[in-house]
Amino acid sequence: DAKTTQPPSMDCAEGRAANLPCNHSTISGNEYVYWYRQIHSQGPQYIIHGLKNNETNEMASLIITEDRKSSTLILPHATLRDTAVYYCIVRDTGNQFYFGTGTSLTVIP
Amino acid sequence: DAGITQSPRHKVTETGTPVTLRCHQTENHRYMYWYRQDPGHGLRLIHYSYGVKDTDKGEVSDGYSVSRSKTEDFLLTLESATSSQTSVYFCAISELGSTGTGELFFGEGSRLTVL
C-alpha cells in the first residue's frame, strides 16, 4: 500500500500560491520524499525531493516538518499550466517508489 | 528528456493471449520499473529491477513477470492476459549515487486493452 496520504482534489486561483499537503507518518529516517506531477495521460514528471531540510528549485518549494511525518509542496505563483495531478512519494531504502492516488489540482482563472 | 522508449504504445489483444511490453533506455541507469495506472488507483508498482537479472515484485505483481537480460531493456510479460489487466503501463528508470538524485524518469506509456 502507498505510504503517503493526500487530499484527492484542490483548487487554486491563478497567480496565488498553491499549497499541497502530504502525510507520510510512517516514513523512516533515511527515506526521501519526492513530488511528481502528471498532466493528462503523460508520464509523471519530477518536481522536487528532500530528506529533512526544506528545498527550493525553479519549480517549487518543499517544506518538511521537523518530525518528517508530513510535507507541503508550494507552487509560488500558480498558472493554468500547473493544473495536474500531484503525487507525493516516499522512496524507500530499496529504491522503490510508491505513488498513491495523488491530488488533482485545478488552477482557476 | 531521458532516453526511454516503450513499445508497443498501443495494443489490443484477447483474453488468454500472451503479451510482452518492452522498455528500452539509453541512459545506462541501474534501476528500472514497471507501473500500471488505472482510474482511482494512481500508479501502482508491478515489478522493478536493480540490475541485470536482478528483479523483484512490487505491490501488484500477480499475473505479471519481468526479465532484464541487459541493462537497457526491461520486459514486462502477461502470460495469459485478462480483462483486469487493461490499463496504461508506464516504464521508469532511475539512478542513485553521487551523480544522481534518484528521481524517476518515465516513458510515454503503453495502453493495453484486453477484450
pLDDT for the residue numbered A50:
92
Q: Which residues of A touch B44 (CB under 8 A)?
A: 99
Q: Using the beta-carbon criterion (under 8 Å), do B108 and A44 form an inter-chain contact? A: no
Q: Which one of B43, B59, B104 has the shortest CB-CB distance to A46? A: B104
B98: pLDDT strictly greater than 60 = no
pLDDT for the residue numbered B58:
92
Q: From CA B63, how far away is CA A84, in angstroms rounded?
A: 31
Q: Per-residue pLDDT averaged across A30-51, rounded?
A: 91
For chain A, which residues lie within 8 Å of any Cβ of chain B, measuring from their own Cβ? 1-2, 32, 34, 36, 41-46, 49, 85, 87, 91, 94-102
| Partner residues linked to A75 by β-bridges | A18
Q: Using the beta-carbon criterion (under 8 Å), do A87 and B42 form an inter-chain contact? A: yes
Mean pLDDT across chain A:
91
| DSSP E strand boundaries for chain A | 9-13, 18-23, 32-38, 45-50, 55-56, 61-64, 70-75, 84-91, 97-98, 103-108
Which run of H or of E encompasses B15?
none
Residue B97 pLDDT level (bands cut at 50, 70, 90): low
Residue B103 pLDDT level (bands cut at 50, 70, 90): confident
pLDDT for the residue numbered B100:
54
pLDDT for the residue numbered A10:
97
| Partner residues linked to A67 by β-bridges | none
Quick check: B78 and B87 in contact, CB under 8 A?
A: no
Quick check: B68 and B32 in contact, CB under 8 A?
A: yes
Q: Which residues of A touch B35 (CB under 8 A)?
A: 99
pLDDT tens digits along B17-74: 999 999 999 999 999 999 999 987 889 999 999 999 999 999 999 999 999 999 999 9
pLDDT for the residue numbered B2:
67
A100: pLDDT strictly greater than 90 = no
**Closest listed residue to residue A3, CA positions, set A37, A29, A27, A34:** A27
pLDDT tens digits along A68-93: 999 999 999 999 999 999 999 988 77
Q: From CA B61, how far away is CA B36, in angstroms rounded?
A: 10
The nearest alpha carbon in chain A to B1 belongs to A45
Q: Which one of A46, A94, A96 has the shortest CB-CB distance to B103? A: A46
